[in-house]
């Protein structure tokens, strides 16, 4: 997710989302993906330095996959080589992003319209990645269900993994994800490339829902995006208290400012505030205040005052009861 799954948020997830952080919990396998980065930019020295910020990660984030997009073979090969040198555990090609600016470059979901070039991109990345696994994230089609042509063609490339967002480009996220179609994809996989892992994406609500979808459809795993937004405890299957949630929002903000404050706009954090601050009394008013902040110190002050107020009200109610 652009301007969401940066190194600051991933480190917060890694800290609070470890399955063993709140025992006893069943061990869960999790793999991080970076934000997707332009291969054209990575292939050229002038644009590379700025984009490398989006590929920054810590040793605790392994296994982690670099996600790239592009439509030029040489640049995709160079970008894959760079990602390998940076120490990533795999390289994923985004062939599903519906952003019009990305599509105009023949990238993202625009690749669905040009399956032969899509295959060329996979081969170029594989050449640059060498021993690293290469995967693709895509959709079931552009304007219609193209599983038997588009998905079939991708599976013929013997990918390590194929993540399928179960909607078309035309549908965006306006309709429910078509999980009923996953069994068709699994049948194709078994026929064409049995070793390819199939990951489902779209409308996965939480870990239990992900497990259920895997069991019902036969897919090997699920990719979560929106479900973890504002909920770094997701993989640990812990329900945080309001105070825990708001204190982690402050911690996340300070980490963002420390790691990315000099190169990223602070307003990016306001996307996270909308996710952290909802579903409780006073949430709307608190969000309004947080939307006006310009740094982590202001965020900490506002949330600290909010928590002091609600704790004082709670203490007052408890005194009256006694």
Give the per-residue pLDDT at 24.
41
Query: What domains lie within the chain, and their CATH numbers?
Result: 7-236 (3.20.20.70), 242-321 (no CATH)
Query: Length of the chain in residues, anyone?
Result: 322
97, 107, 214, 219: the catalytic one is 97
Angle between helices 207-217 and 182-192 (to 10 degrees): 60
**pTM, full prediction:** 0.90
> What's the confidence (pLDDT) of residue 2?
61
Residues ≥6 apart with Cβ < 8 Å to 235: 13, 17, 18, 19, 28, 30, 207, 228
The SS3 call for residue 191 is: helix
Q: Examine the pLDDT at 320 and tell me if it is beyond 50.
A: yes
Mean pLDDT along residues 293-298: 98
Residue 318 scores a pLDDT above 80:
no
How far is Cα 124 from Cα 133, in angstroms, rounded to an integer? 13
Q: What is the DSSP letter of 62?
A: -
SS3 (DSSP) at 292: coil
> Smallest Cα–Cα separation from 160: which of 182, 136, 183, 138?
136
Please give the share of the chain, as a percent, with pLDDT higher than 70: 93
Q: Specify whether 97 is catalytic.
A: yes
Question: Is 8's pLDDT higher than 60?
Answer: yes
Cα–Cα dist 34/2, whole Å: 9
Question: Beta partners for 37?
Answer: 68
């Amino acid at each position: 997710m652009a301007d969401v799954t940066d190194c600051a948020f991933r480190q917060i997830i890694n800290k609070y989302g470890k399955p063993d952080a709140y025992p006893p919990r069943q061990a869960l396998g999790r793999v991080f993906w970076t934000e997707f980065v332009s291969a054209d930019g990575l292939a050229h020295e002038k644009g590379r330095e700025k984009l490398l910020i989006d590929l920054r990660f810590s040793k605790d984030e392994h296994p982690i996959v670099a996600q790239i997009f592009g439509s030029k073979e040489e640049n995709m090969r160079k970008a894959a080589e760079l990602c390998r040198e940076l120490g990533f555990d795999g390289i994923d090609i985004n062939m599903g992003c519906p952003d019009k600016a990305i599509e105009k470059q023949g990238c993202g979901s625009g690749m669905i319209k040009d399956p032969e070039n899509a295959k060329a991109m996979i081969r170029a990345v594989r050449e640059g990645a060498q021993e690293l696994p290469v995967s693709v994230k895509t959709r079931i089609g552009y304007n219609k269900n193209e599983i038997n042509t588009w998905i079939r063609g991708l599976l013929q490339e013997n990918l390590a993994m194929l993540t399928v967002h179960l909607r078309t480009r035309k549908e965006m996220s306006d309709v429910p994800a078509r999980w009923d179609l996953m069994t068709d994809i699994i049948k194709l996989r078994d026929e064409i490339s049995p070793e390819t892992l199939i990951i489902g994406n779209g409308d996965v609500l939480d870990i239990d829902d992900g497990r259920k979808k895997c069991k019902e459809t036969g897919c090997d795993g699920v990719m979560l995006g929106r479900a973890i937004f504002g909920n770094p405890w997701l993989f640990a299957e812990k329900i945080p208290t309001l105070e825990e949630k708001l204190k982690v929002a402050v911690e996340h903000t300070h980490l963002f400012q420390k790691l990315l404050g000099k190169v990223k706009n602070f307003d990016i954090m306001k996307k996270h505030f909308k996710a952290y601050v909802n579903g409780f009394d006073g949430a709307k008013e608190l969000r309004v205040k947080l939307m006006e902040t310009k740094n982590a110190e202001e965020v900490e002050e506002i949330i600290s005052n909010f928590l002091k107020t609600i704790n004082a009200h709670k203490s007052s109610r408890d005194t009256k009861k006694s």
